[in-house]
Each structure stands twice: as structure tokens, then as C-alpha cells.
């Protein structure tokens, strides 16, 4: 848990959350995706949730975003009960979310325009520069590579300056090299998230590809809830990893503090002994649940 958790309310807290869905046309049995899920993300903390396919990870993210009301339990955002959309959160989806009729710059501007921000174009241009796409603002999504589109989506999320960032397997469709570049990009931007609020349009960004040597100041970071199937990704990026059981009625079965030093390079950290120790420990908890989930898929 974040060291700040005792001094201020958690950024996001799920208490005993359950989500049950009605059967199709009322004929099929009701299905409980998750049950008795309690989860906390401290201010400035990066928490990943891992578990078998179909265990309800994305369901929990939708609950945290306020897109899905839980059947039981409650959600708190910085100590206040969440009712409706979580307006302190930004959501980066697994699937493509860019509007194909808008350019990269116009896509990043969209949320600012909806909010009536007067300098939307300048702010959007600054965030495109921060993700390395300053010269691609006039390109349409179909003119960009998969990695570039993910960078635009990242800028689209962060330009709104959310206090909480929700990420649903955002890089799962990318090749391994592009994926690692994007993972490092997220860590760089997260480590310097406080700079975004203070940066003037046209200001300089940190060197791309290098790790920020910033002090450990969680007050300048966003809270991140990151969903992934990739245990290596979860360990390399996170402060904590939460493991879910196989469904139905999926629930937390383990929680691990990731004590790898920061800043991190996601490729280099995988070669360390401590990374391997953490991977062995977490996989020991997950393995049977992953096999159980796989058998359920085969039997379906």
C-alpha cells in the first residue's frame, strides 16, 4: 500500500464488490463474475490485477470507472462514495478507441473540447509531443502504426489530467518490442505525472527512451489500476500485484508488494534475481487458477 495511505484517503477503494448478471432472455442462470472483492489503490500507487482469462478483471475496472454499478458492495474515490461516472479517472481501453474521422491532434483534443477548455489545441499538441508524436498531429488513425495509435490513446487519456488512470490490457495487441517501449513510456510519464500539470505548452519533455531520475514523490503521481494477463508486465511496472481466482465468483487470492527499485526499465528488470523470485512466488499462487480457467474454456 502507498505510504500516503495513512495520511489521506485511498485514491480508489472497492469494498466487498460483487457483480451478478442476468441470464440471456431470463432463461439462463444468473452469472456472478466477481464476489467479495476488496481492493485498494493508494494515491500515487501503481497496482496491477492479474488472473485467468474470463475471471472478471475488466468487470472490476468498469466498476471502478463507474460504468457498471456493483450488485453488492461499494466503491470509494478519495474517500467519497462513487455514484455514477468516476470523473476523477481516465480510462485507456484494450480495444481501439480513436475516432477514425479525426486526426491524432483532434482525437487528443476531443475530451478537452467537450469540457470547454479554451486552450485545447495547445494542450493536445503538448501531449502529442510528450508521447513522441509532435510531428504526426495531422495524421488519421489509419495512417499510424499500432504503437503510434496507442501513444495517441495515452495522450488522449492523460491530457485530461485525471487523478486515477484505469488501463485495461492496453498493449496486449502490440509486438513485444513496441510493447516494451510503451510500458517504459507509461512508467516515464507516470513518474513525471506532476510535471504535466505544471508544464507550459511547448515545454521540453524528458528524453525519450531514458529512465527519469526523479525523486520518490508519490504526491506528483497518478494512481494507476492496470489490468493484464502478462505476469512479467505486472511485476515490471507495479508497486503491488493482486491475483484473482478463476471465475465464476472470482475473488482476490493473493497480493504481492513489488520491491524492485525505481526507475525501472521493463526489459532490464526482468534479468534481475529479485524479479525471478517475485515471478516464482506469484506464479505459485496463480498457476492452478490459470489451469482451472483453461479447463473451463475447453468445457464451454
- Confirm if 4 and 43 have CB atoms less than 8 A apart: yes
Per residue of the chain (300 residues), what is the pLDDT tens digit?
444 444 678 999 999 999 999 877 666 788 899 999 999 999 999 999 999 988 999 999 999 999 999 999 999 999 999 999 999 999 998 888 899 999 999 999 999 999 999 999 999 999 999 999 999 999 999 999 999 999 999 999 999 999 999 999 999 888 899 899 999 999 999 987 544 433 434 443 443 444 444 445 566 799 999 999 999 999 999 999 999 999 999 999 999 999 999 999 999 999 999 999 999 999 999 999 998 887 877 877
The grid coordinates listed for 265 are 526499465
Pairwise CA distance, residues 237 & 29, whole Å: 39
- List Cβ neighbours of 139 (8 Å cut-off, separation of 6 or more): 103, 104, 148
**Quick one: 78 exposed, middle or buried, by C-beta within 10 A (0-12, 13-18, 19+)?**
middle
Tell me the CA distances in angstroms from 218 to 24, 30, 261, one per residue in order. Answer: 45, 42, 14
- Closest Cα to residue 101, out of 139, 147, 155, 152? 139
Which pLDDT score is estimated for 209? Answer: 42
Which pLDDT score is estimated for 217? Answer: 56
Per DSSP (E only), the strands in 67-205 are: 72-77, 80-81, 89-92, 164-168
Beta pairing partners, 40: 13
**CA angle (73, 223, 155) in 5-degree steps:** 120
**Chain segment 209-265, per-residue pLDDT in tens:** 444 444 455 667 999 999 999 999 999 999 999 999 999 999 999 999 999 999 999
**Quick one: 250 exposed, middle or buried, by C-beta within 10 A (0-12, 13-18, 19+)?**
buried
SS3 label, residue 66: coil
Cis peptide before 179 (omega within 30 of 0): no
Which pLDDT score is estimated for 50? Answer: 96
Which pLDDT score is estimated for 214? Answer: 44
- Confirm if 33 and 19 have CB atoms less than 8 A apart: yes
Grid-cell match 481466482, residue found? 245
**Chain segment 196-206, per-residue pLDDT in tens:** 433 434 443 44
SS3 label, residue 46: strand
Amino acid at each position: 500500500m502507498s505510504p500516503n495511505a495513512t495520511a489521506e484517503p485511498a485514491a480508489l477503494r472497492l469494498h466487498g464488490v460483487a457483480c451478478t448478471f442476468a441470464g440471456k432472455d431470463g432463461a439462463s442462470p444468473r452469472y456472478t463474475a466477481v464476489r467479495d472483492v476488496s481492493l485498494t489503490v493508494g494515491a500515487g500507487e501503481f497496482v496491477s490485477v492479474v488472473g485467468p482469462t474470463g475471471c472478471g478483471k475488466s468487470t472490476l475496472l468498469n466498476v471502478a470507472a463507474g460504468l457498471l454499478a456493483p450488485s453488492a458492495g461499494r466503491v470509494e474515490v478519495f474517500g467519497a462514495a462513487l455514484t455514477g461516472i468516476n470523473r476523477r479517472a481516465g480510462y485507456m481501453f484494450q480495444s481501439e478507441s480513436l475516432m477514425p474521422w479525426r486526426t491524432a491532434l483532434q482525437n487528443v483534443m476531443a475530451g478537452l473540447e467537450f469540457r470547454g477548455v479554451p486552450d485545447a489545441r495547445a494542450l493536445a499538441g503538448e501531449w502529442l509531443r510528450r508521447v513522441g508524436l509532435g510531428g504526426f498531429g495531422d495524421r488519421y488513425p489509419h495512417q499510424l502504426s499500432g504503437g503510434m495509435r496507442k501513444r495517441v490513446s495515452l495522450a488522449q487519456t492523460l491530457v485530461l489530467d485525471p487523478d486515477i488512470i484505469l488501463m485495461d490490457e492496453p498493449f496486449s495487441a502490440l509486438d513485444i518490442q513496441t510493447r516494451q517501449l510503451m510500458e517504459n513510456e507509461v512508467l516515464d510519464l507516470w513518474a513525471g505525472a506532476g510535471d504535466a500539470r505544471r508544464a507550459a505548452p511547448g515545454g521540453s519533455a524528458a528524453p525519450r527512451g531514458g529512465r527519469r531520475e526523479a525523486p520518490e514523490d508519490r504526491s506528483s503521481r497518478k494512481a494507476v489500476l492496470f489490468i493484464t494477463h502478462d505476469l512479467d508486465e505486472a511485476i515490471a511496472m507495479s508497486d503491488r500485484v493482486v491475483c484473482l481466482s478463476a471465475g465464476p465468483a472470482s475473488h482476490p487470492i493473493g497480493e504481492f508488494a513489488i520491491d524492485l527499485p525505481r526507475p525501472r526499465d521493463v526489459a532490464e528488470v526482468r534479468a534481475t534475481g529479485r524479479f525471478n523470485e517475485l515471478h516464482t512466488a506469484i506464479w505459485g499462487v496463480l498457476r492452478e487458477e490459470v489451469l482451472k480457467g483453461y479447463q473451463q474454456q475447453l468445457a464451454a
